[in-house]
């Protein structure tokens, strides 16, 4: 249970909880704002995000290439 500006928030995080967009959006507003501020301050140019997205795309393309039998 959490209180913020006179409001009470109740939420539980299970051991298998992952920081997906849906799960982040389900958190209480003060916690969502804090996470957004952390993201903005730690990667203002979004370079880390871009590198992660490119890595995921490369992995997907390599899987597709290998499964096509061309390798």
Question: What are the backbone angles phi and psi of residue 13, rounded to the nearest 5°?
Answer: -115, 120
Inter-residue contact 9 to 2 (CB < 8 Å):
yes
For 8-60, the pLDDT digits (tens) are 767 777 889 888 989 889 888 888 999 889 888 888 888 888 999 999 999 99
Q: What is the pTM of this model?
A: 0.48
SS3 track for 23-70: HHHCCCHHHHHHHHHHHHHHCCCCHHHHHHHHHHHHHHHHHHHHHCCC
The pLDDT of residue 4 is 57
């Amino acid at each position: 249970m959490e209180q913020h500006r006179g409001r009470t928030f109740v939420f539980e995080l299970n051991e298998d909880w992952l920081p997906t967009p849906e799960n982040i959006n389900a958190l209480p507003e003060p916690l969502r704002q804090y996470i957004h501020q952390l993201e903005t301050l730690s990667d203002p140019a979004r370079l880390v995000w871009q590198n992660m997205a490119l890595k995921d795309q490369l992995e997907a393309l390599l899987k597709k290439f290998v499964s096509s039998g061309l390798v």
